[in-house]
């Protein structure tokens, strides 16, 4: 069995005495699509923020690609092969779609203009924005800005993509195209998907991790999670949405 590309041991975070994430052990094998779900306030955002280096843990360790990255800043984790799309879009609104992706591509390719342009064209084509390259990012719909973020991640050729609510704001036809894209990407990279659309989760995920009150409530295949009585009581049965 392959060593995990991402793992945590005892990962915890408290805010002013409130335990948001408590002693989480988590292993993500290479080239898996893993979904992270849970009710509002389950600790998903805090957990992911620690994974990517936005906030430090108050306990535990994080390993990425065999190295301890617990104390590394976010940009150093990106340089090692992590890419992350935010729940709230973080594109540069006044730059063109092309330039947004080019900024990300330059992190990997440096000043090789031809290589950067090629990477941008390929990434935009994959997310269905090839015909919007010259548009200002602020002129895109919210859903298309989410796709632009994914293109920015793809341009970095990451070993791990963390996608936070990627289908939010997408039309049904765009969600269908997104699912095709994720299936293609699964052959190239590892994906951690934080997603409220349970139909998307159940269709795309190889395995699902369920957080509740900052702890891992359950982990398993979509069929196992769907049949889990504890998960039904805490999340699926309530119709709760991720946050």
87 in any annotated domain: no
* pLDDT tens digits for range 195-235: 889 999 999 999 999 999 999 999 999 999 999 999 988 87
Domain contains 90: no
The tens digit of pLDDT for each residue in 96-127 reads: 999 999 998 998 898 899 999 999 999 999 99
User: Distance of CA 67 to CAs 37, 110, 208, Å?
Assistant: 26, 25, 24
Residue 1 has pLDDT above 90, yes or no: no
Do 110 and 11 belong to one domain? no
Q: Shortest CA distance to 128 belongs to which of 186, 176, 177, 182? A: 177
Cα distance between residue 227 and residue 216, in whole Å: 16
Do 125 and 176 lie in one domain? The reply is: no
Same domain, 104 and 40: no
Range of the domain at 40: 6-81+158-238
Domain closes at, from 157, 176, 202: 157
Q: Is it the case that residue 88 has pLDDT exceeding 80?
A: no
């Amino acid at each position: 069995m392959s060593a995990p590309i991402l793992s945590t041991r005892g990962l915890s975070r408290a805010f002013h005495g409130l335990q948001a994430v408590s002693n989480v052990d988590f292993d993500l094998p290479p080239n898996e699509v893993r979904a992270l779900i849970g009710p509002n306030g389950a600790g998903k955002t805090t957990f992911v923020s620690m994974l990517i280096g936005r906030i430090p843990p108050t306990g535990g360790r994080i390993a990425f690609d065999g190295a301890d990255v617990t104390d590394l800043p976010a940009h150093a984790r990106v340089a090692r092969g992590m890419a992350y799309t935010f729940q709230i879009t973080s594109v540069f609104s006044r730059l063109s779609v092309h330039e947004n992706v080019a900024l990300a591509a330059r992190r990997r390719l440096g000043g090789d203009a031809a290589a950067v342009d090629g990477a941008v064209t390929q990434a935009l084509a994959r997310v269905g924005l090839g015909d919007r390259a010259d548009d200002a990012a602020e002129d895109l719909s919210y859903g298309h800005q989410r796709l632009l973020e994914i293109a920015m991640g793809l341009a970095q050729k990451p070993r791990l993509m963390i996608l936070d609510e990627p289908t939010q704001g997408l039309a049904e036809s765009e969600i269908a195209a997104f699912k095709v894209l994720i299936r293609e990407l699964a052959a190239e990279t590892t994906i951690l998907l934080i997603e409220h659309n349970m139909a998307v989760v159940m269709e795309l995920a190889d395995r699902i991790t369920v957080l509740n009150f900052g702890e891992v409530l359950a982990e398993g295949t979509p069929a196992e999670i769907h049949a889990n009585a504890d998960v039904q009581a805490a999340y699926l049965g309530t119709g709760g949405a991720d946050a």
